[in-house]
Structure 1
Amino acid sequence: MFVVNTSQQQQLSNATATCNFIACNSQRTQCSSNPECECFSLTSKPSTGICAVALLPCTSVVRCNADNKTCSIDCTVCVNSTRCGMPVCYPLPLANKLICPAIPTTTTTQTTTTTRTTTTTRTSTTTRTSTTTRTSTTTRAANITSTTTPTSSKAEEYKSFYTRIEAELELPNTSIESEYIQMLLLGWFNTGIMTNSRHAHTAAVLNNGKVLVSGGRNGGFLNSAELYDPSTGTWTTTGSMADIRYYPTACVLNNGKVLVSGGYSSVAFYLNSAELYDPSTGTWVTTGNMINARYTHRASVLNNGKVLVSGGRNGGVYLNSAELYDPSTGTWTTTGSMNNAASANTASVLNNGKVLVCGGENSGGSLNSAELYDPSTGTWTTTGSMINPRYGHRASVLNNGKVLVSGGHNGGDSTNSAELYDPSTGTWTTTGSMINPRADHTASVLSNGKVLVSGGENSGGSLNSAELYDPSTGTWVTTSNMINARADHTASVLSNGKVLVSGGLNNGVYLNSAELY
């Protein structure tokens, strides 16, 4: 029995998307006339497999559920993949018979019938009847062969392969197969556009799986908000915030509401106000004001449910103050101040519950300092300094508990350097450098544990490039480029494992486009 996720059956043709494939009985044996297909054995029934595209980027698939037999992603099946080194959720449209046709077979049927009747009297009559029927049937299937020389970029190979599939099989651009092939072989594809173009906004993944985007700027400052629905790929407007906000913070509370705080406004300039979005009603209500107005600050949801806000700036004044928001009372209280005033830094909640704040800038320039906030004491202590000063960088908590810091500005230019913080030792070590220098980018931890970095900017302008960091090797590899170059955008990891990128600034142009990886 195939364990297949078919929650999109109304959108997919059962014959095309889930059943129209060739079964095979052992992994990595030739199962198709297309040499770029191989047999993937089912984890639920190892003696049975599906004949499917072999050049599947491991970075674009997700691991099967904990039982190693089922998948939570639409139209996928759990298979063993020696190439990826783990059970993965394979998209069934890439196992379609159009892409992986059966090996040609030749069947010859020969039938000979001879009847002889002899009667002898004075007259001799001989009747001979010979009938020979030959039927020859040869089945020929489309054979997609590699006609390009392998390139240094796997993304280019995947793109070339996809182009040949489109051309030779004449798949319509609107087909499910085409969409899945483009997503998995090219990496990125367009999704619905936002109602408003915006950058320096916030994005929060709600408990219902939708994404709330709010605030930002598109020439004017915005208080509008909208929701992205992954099930339809569309955006709808929702209630507007009470205040216009540029560079605010947003975080999802334990009760499912979203707390937005601070930011810059053309009306009140630097804001100390805060408000709450209720997904059940689609409305905003004001909550207690912060003690200090701030923007380009950081907000972290602690294990106790409170929210720590730290740093930022108020005009030309860089802040070292920090405060706590209590959702049960809707009020803010001061907590210990950081050792260094900073804005445009990063804040990461570690597995031990402490918060690591590192880098940023202040009146003295870029910082390499790092410090830890302990919620149990309300105090900050310095920890090892980063090897390189940086601001506008990104920090990602890896599955092994370490923190990966990537890119950022170091003085006037951006950097491609990356380093790792080990909470067990309080020290930093260098790791592989990114292929491209970048700052004001996004960094997303994928379900396979790798980190996807996309966009940003450097001396050459806004970037559409993307790359992947593998914690097991400490190295970066390029992946396919985004459709649009963008900086100061947002990236949200959806419950289905995809990454939604929205908005941003493309060399001075405000974007309303969104795309999925």
Structure 2
Amino acid sequence: MLPTTPVATTSPRPTTSTTTTISTTTRIITTTTTTMTATTTSTTMRIITTTTTTMTATTTSTTMRIITTTTITYVPSRWLNTTNMNFARNAHTASVLTNGTVLIVGGASSGNTLNSAELYDPSTELWTKTSNMSDGRYWHTASILSNGKILIAGGSGTMGVINSAELYDPSARVWTKTGNMSNARYVQTASTLNNGKVLVAGGYGNGSYLNSAELYEPSTGVWTRTGNMSVERYFHTASMLTNGKVLIAGGLGNTGFSIITELYEPSTGVWTKTGNMSDGRYFHTATTLNNGKILIAGGYGYYGYMNSAELYDPSTGVWTKTGNMSDGRYGSTASILSNGKVLVAGGSGSSGYLNSAELYDLSTGVWTKIGNMSVARYAPAASRLTNGKILITGGYTFSGQTNSVEIYA
């Protein structure tokens, strides 16, 4: 792992000796710790200074010895660089496989649509090319099936929006075509249900926003239509709830930025409206918290880039506003950490592409800014590794798509 700024540690140990006469035996230990924060152009570092003073006096030697030790340690922020991908890309997908490696698929790069795929091994920090898909695509979906295979569906390709789907077998490292969806669509959502099927909903295709949804059956490779959502939408979010239902929130459609949210019941194939969000938004993030609530953050709405966030409680069907982020952003990533906090990073805001990141604390409802990424990036992908670290890949930067990768440790 390569820190974005080198770690520097210095340990000066000045020693001063003084002789005096006293009549009793005394041992005094004083420790002072000072914490300061320093910011460089590439990262934020905490400077911790510890000073320990020990004074010992004895009547037999009538000597007092004063030893003062000062240690200064530069601790970098928790963003670390790792090796670059083989291809620069954004609007791609990233899936953590059962063996812990990360599969990156498709995306866009320099006006081209990519069919390439590559694997990241966290233990070696190396990228390996794997076989290519049949169809290049971006803004597609990737779903992990119960058999460990990855289902890639839809997206936009060289000839426009596509309905094709293909499967990646991690053990053989090969792609196989599977059944086509009923509708060509991109920027849809895909959710792996508890019954093993994959629900694809919404998106954009055939010149219009979509409210249609369909199910993929892994055992047959066949797609079947299921109930339609109440409104058309794309760039929305889908979240699996603990009760097995799927929550769809926000998005852009024929009626503008949607505040409407709805639930899909897998046992009946029926959609039911639930409470409305406070703010209509699209290209936001949705994170399932450890308490089962859903955190919606950022996005773009009627008043531009949004920094607001709200919580959905599945037990009541009610949305509640929570603390605002420091930066309005859309096209960012959101990842839940092992401590239950949510990391939001990157995206695009009023000042352009963002390298800023912040943490949401559920216990307080407060966002806290942390160190910046080394690269400002819009529409990257984020993966939570098996060791709990967060891998951020690619994205669109001020100079185009990037192949750079960073880790939040």
Distance 1:35 1:259, change over 3 A: same
Could you list the per-position Cα deviations for residues 453-509 of structure 1 after superposition, in whole angstroms to 9, with x for gaps in the alignment? 111111211011111111111111111111111110011111111110010011352
- Offset of 1:211 from its aligned partner? 0.7
Of 139, 161, 168, which residue of structure 2 is paired with 1:247? 139
Distance 1:504 1:32, change over 3 A: farther
Alpha-carbon RMSD: 2.7
Letter in 1 for 2:88: S
Distance 1:100 1:286, change over 3 A: farther
Could you list the per-position Cα deviations for residues 113-151 of structure 1 after superposition, in whole angstroms to 9, with x for gaps in the alignment? xxxxxxxxxxxxxxxxxxxxxx9998764433xxxxxxx
Letter in 1 for 2:135: D
1:229 to 2:157 alignment = no
Identity of counterpart residues, as a percentage?
52
Runs of 4+ in 1 over 2 A off after TM superposition: 30-37, 98-108, 135-144
- Offset of 1:187 from its aligned partner? 1.6
Pairing 1:331-342 to 2, within 5 Å after superposition: 331-342=222-233
Q: Which has the larger radius of gyration?
A: 1
Of 329, 341, 345, which residue of structure 2 is paired with 1:438? 329
Distance 1:212 1:471, change over 3 A: same
Secondary structure (helix, strand or coil) at the match of 2:234 reads coil
Aligned to 2:22: none
Tell me, yes or no, if the aligned pair for 1:226 and 1:238 is still in contact at 8 Å: yes
Q: 5+ unaligned residues in a row in structure 2: which ranges?
A: 2-27, 38-45
Distance 1:446 1:478 in 2: 15
Aligned residue pair count:
372
Aligned to 1:297: 188
Secondary structure (helix, strand or coil) at the match of 1:476 reads strand
Secondary structure (helix, strand or coil) at the match of 1:35 reads strand
- Offset of 1:362 from its aligned partner? 1.2
Of 300, 305, 316, which residue of structure 2 is paired with 1:425? 316
Letter in 2 for 1:308: L
Of 381, 392, 415, which residue of structure 1 is paired with 2:306? 415
Distance 1:105 1:286 in 2: 76
Letter in 2 for 1:321: S
Select the structure that is richer in strand.
Answer: 2
Letter in 2 for 1:205: V
Distance 2:389 2:126 in 1: 15
Letter in 2 for 1:282: R
Select the structure that is richer in helix.
Answer: 1
Aligned to 1:212: 103
Distance 1:32 1:313 in 2: 67
Distance 2:130 2:66 in 1: 60
Tell me, yes or no, if the aligned pair for 1:189 and 1:515 is still in contact at 8 Å: yes
Pairing 1:319-398 to 2, within 5 Å after superposition: 319-398=210-289
Distance 1:315 1:334 in 2: 17
Distance 2:91 2:243 in 1: 30
Distance 1:282 1:31 in 2: 62
Q: Say which structure, 1 or 2, has more relative contact order (CA 8 Å, 6+ apart).
A: 2
Pairing 1:79-118 to 2, within 5 Å after superposition: none
Secondary structure (helix, strand or coil) at the match of 1:243 reads coil
- Offset of 1:279 from its aligned partner? 1.0
Secondary structure (helix, strand or coil) at the match of 2:184 reads coil
1:510 to 2:398 alignment = no
1:143 to 2:71 alignment = yes
Distance 2:312 2:390 in 1: 25
Aligned to 1:150: none
- Offset of 1:35 from its aligned partner? 2.7
